[in-house]
Amino acid sequence: MASKTANPSTVPFADAPINASLTGEQKIDLLRTMVRIRRFEQTSLKYYHDGHIGGFLHLYIGQESVAVGSISLLGEHDHVITAYRDHGHALSVGMGMDECMAELFGKKTGCSKGKGGSMHYFAPDKNYWGGHGIVGGQTPLGAGLAFALKYKGLKGCCLCYLGDGAINQGAFHEALNLASLWDLPVVYIIENNGYSMGTSQARSSAFPKEGLAARAEGYNMAWAKIEGVSLYEIRAGVQEAVARAHNESKPTMLEIMTYRHKGHSVADANAEKYRTKEEIQRYMNEHDPIEFWKNVLIGEGVITEDDYKAINKEAGAEAEASAAFAIKSPYPDESEIFDDIYWEVDNHTEAGRTGRHFFHG
C-alpha cells in the first residue's frame, strides 16, 4: 500500500492520461472534497454524541478517496448507487452539506425530508440513487440502472458500490450473472475495508488468492484490484472500467483496498475488540488518503501547508454551519408520514390510485 509521504516524481499512476490532464485547481478540488467529507462526518459524530442525531451513523472516515476518486470521472449519463455508508458518495456527487446534515437530524430540510436518515441519502437530479440499508440490496438496482442506460441507448454507466461483506449476498451473484449475460454498463466497486461489522474478511469470505474481485472470472467479467490510498491509482483503475462500460457496454468488478478508521457504526462500541489498536493506528498514520493526497500536492508545488490549513478550516466552518442549519430546521409534520413512499401515490397517478404499480394495461 502506498505510504503517507509522497515524492511527486515517483507517485505511481501520476502520469496516467486521466491524471496527467488534471489542472492544479482540479487537484485542489479533489482534496477539498475529501476534506469536506471528513469534516462533515466529524461534525456529525459530535452532534450524534450530543443527542441531536438518532439511529444509525456509519462513518466513511478513512475511505474518502474511493468515492472522490471514482466519482470525479463521471459525466452526464453516469449514475451512482451505494450502501448505507453513503455520506462520502453524496458529497462527491455535489449534494450540499445542509441537506445532508439536516437529514441526519431528521429534519424536513433534509435530502429525504428527514425520513430517511444517514442510510438513505438520495439526489435523483444528481444521478445519485441512494443510500441502501439492506446489505447487497443496491447491487441488482445497479444492474437495473445500467440496463436502463443501455435500453435508452445512452452512453453512460452505473457505479455500484458495495462492501466486502456484501459480496456473499445471493442478490449480488444474480446481478453479476445478468450484468455479464446482458453486457450491462455497470461497474461494481467493492470497497474492501477488511471487515463486515466485527467480522474480518478472512472469517467470512472464500476467495482466490488474487482477491475478492477475482470471483468475477466465474461470470466471465473483467476485474481489477486497486490500492485505495492514492487518488491517482483509483482514477486510473476506475477509468478503465468506465471506458469499458461506455465503449463496449461491458461490466467490470473492481476491488479497492481501503480502511475505516471508526467503528462499523456509532453503535459499534467494540471497534477495537475485533482489530488491534496498533492496526487502526497504523492505517491512520501511514495510509490516510487525505494525508497522502495533501503530500502529493505539496510535493508537486500545487499547494502549501498553509493552503491545506485554510481548506480544512473552511470545511470545518461549512460543516458547523450545516449543523446550525439543521438545528433551526423544522421536523416533518406527522401528517406527512405516509408521503414519499411511492411516487405514483404521491403524484396521484392511475397506477397509484388503483395500486397497479407494476402492471400495464
d(CA 6, CA 13): 12
Report the relative pairing of strands 195-196 and 158-163 from DSSP bridges: unpaired
Which residue type is seen at 19? N
Judged by CB under 5 A, does residue 64 bind Mg ion? no
Backbone φ, ψ for residue 161 (5° rounding): -95, 145
d(CA 232, CA 30): 11
Judged by CB under 6 A, does residue 133 bind ligand TPP? yes
166 binds, among Mg ion, ligand TPP, none (CB under 5 to 8 A by kind): ligand TPP
d(CA 91, CA 99): 10
Query: Among 1, 20, 134, 327, which residue sits at the site for ligand TPP (rule: CB under 6 A)?
Result: 134
Query: Among 117, 144, 156, 163, which residue sits at the site for ligand TPP (rule: CB under 6 A)?
Result: 163
The binding track of 238-267 with respect to ligand TPP, each residue x by CB under 6 A or -, is --------------------------x---
Cis peptide preceding 355, ω within 30 of 0: no
The binding track of 180-199 with respect to ligand TPP, each residue x by CB under 6 A or -, is -------------x-xxx--
What cell numbers appear for 275 in the block? 482489530
Q: Is 2 helix (H, G, I), strand (E, B) or coil?
A: coil
d(CA 137, CA 144): 12
Judged by CB under 6 A, does residue 164 bind ligand TPP? yes
Backbone φ, ψ for residue 156 (5° rounding): -155, 180
Judged by CB under 5 A, does residue 255 bind Mg ion? no
The binding track of 157-196 with respect to Mg ion, each residue x by CB under 5 A or -, is ------xx----------------------------x---
C-beta closer to Mg ion: residue 58 or 246: 58
Q: Give residues in contact with ligand TPP (CB under 6 A).
A: 85, 133-135, 163-166, 193, 195-197, 264
Q: Give residues in contact with Mg ion (CB under 5 A).
A: 163-164, 193
